[in-house]
Amino acid sequence: MKFNGIYLSGVGVCLPERVPLEEAVARGDCDESQLTTGWRAARVAGTVPAPDMAIEAGKQVLTRSGHAPGDVDLLLHTSTSHQGPDSWMPQHYILRNTVDREIPAIGLRQGCEGFLAGAELAACFLMASPDRTAAMITTADNFGHPLIDRYRSHHGLVLGDGGTAALLSKREGFAELLAVNSFSVPALEGMTRGDEPLFPPGCTVGRKVTLERQATSRPGDVTPQEAALIAGKVESEAVRQVLDDAGIEIGDITRVLHPAAANEQYLEHFLKPLGLDPSYGMLEFGRWNGHMGASDLLAGLDHLISEGALQPGDHVMMFAVGPGMAMSYGVVRIRDTPPWRA
């Protein structure tokens, strides 16, 4: 979807300390075989609740954006793992401790593509009424709980903790949101469901999340080869559409933000068909954080800004894939150097 006059006014992050993989191996938390996969470290939040990291990022984004709490007309919170007590909705807690206004606070469960899906919804919300000014999107996860093992849930994957926030505004911003397109691929729904029963839900009986088993134990509706062809076709169409909506060519892309990965083959799968080298991505940055769920994209954008790696006129493409299967692609154009970069 093409947007006009929707700006990214600020980005906020709350990233806990890195724990090197060698240290995790020495403690017995991580198998030594993970040292060969490319990961270098993981962000580990300890006992800090995920919503509290979202709150810290939300407070920072308000300060950086130059907007007051009264400017915010919507809060969206997205996550990939448990946030707190069952039957409790973290978005209202985050709202209370950031903008503290009687506005809609909505939770999204879109997995790793939660930020982009949220950005598309938030932009539409802002465009629907001239009286609306800004929307806050927060992301957060702490994978240190007993139902998942950040180092062993999938060989080749290390999970990191963190929270991020973004403020979309119709008033001003250091970047302009040009386009976002989100897709669902129903034919691939079974890929991350695996053979686990739907009832009773795994978390209610203490069943651990095993991402590797879920990714390989497919119900048999499609073969891995068929899944690759279906996903490739949707990805190609998604890229073409988001570039058309943004009014640019693939050669205009300066950098690519994506879910964290330690293996260059992951980036080659997405970027090589576009004629882009893996160096456009954030491979090394991700290796030192772990895969932080929905927080990877904004953490990567904050990193590029802080390093001075983006200049006015640059175009940044974002993509993410979530279980279900969901895909989102977006493009932002850098307008100015944010004042907080100093």
Q: Is the pLDDT of residue 210 over 80?
A: no
Greater pLDDT, 6 or 212:
6
Task: Report the mean per-residue pLDDT for the chain.
Answer: 92
β-partners of residue 76 are 106, 137
Checking if the pLDDT of 153 tops 80, the result is yes
**Model confidence pLDDT, tens digit, residues 227-274:** 888 888 888 889 999 999 999 999 999 999 999 999 888 888 888 888
Average pLDDT value for residue range 91-96: 98
Cα–Cα distances in angstroms (integers) from residue 2 to residues 123, 173, 252, 283, in the given order: 10, 17, 17, 28
**Ordered alpha helix ranges (H), 103-164:** 114-127
- ∠ CA(172), CA(112), CA(136), 5° rounding? 25
In this predicted structure, the answer to whether residue 222 has a pLDDT above a threshold of 90 is no
Mean pLDDT of 206-216: 68
- Mean pLDDT on 181-191: 87
- Please report the pLDDT score of residue 216 as a whole number: 55
Work out the widest C-alpha separation in the chain, in whole angstroms: 57
Stretch among 10-14, 82-86, 291-295 having the lowest mean pLDDT: 82-86
- With a CB cutoff of 8 Å and minimum separation 6, the contacts of 217 are 194, 195, 196
In this structure, of 37-41, 62-66, 71-75, 209-213, the range with the lowest mean pLDDT score is 209-213
What is the residue type of 74? L
User: Backbone phi, then psi, for 322, in 5-degree steps?
Assistant: -125, 160
Q: List, as one string, the DSSP characters of 10-44.
A: EEEEE---EEEHHHHHHHTSS-GGGGGTT--EEE-
Which residue type is seen at 253? I
Ordered domains of the chain (ranges, CATH): 7-174 (3.40.47.10), 178-185+222-332 (3.40.47.10)
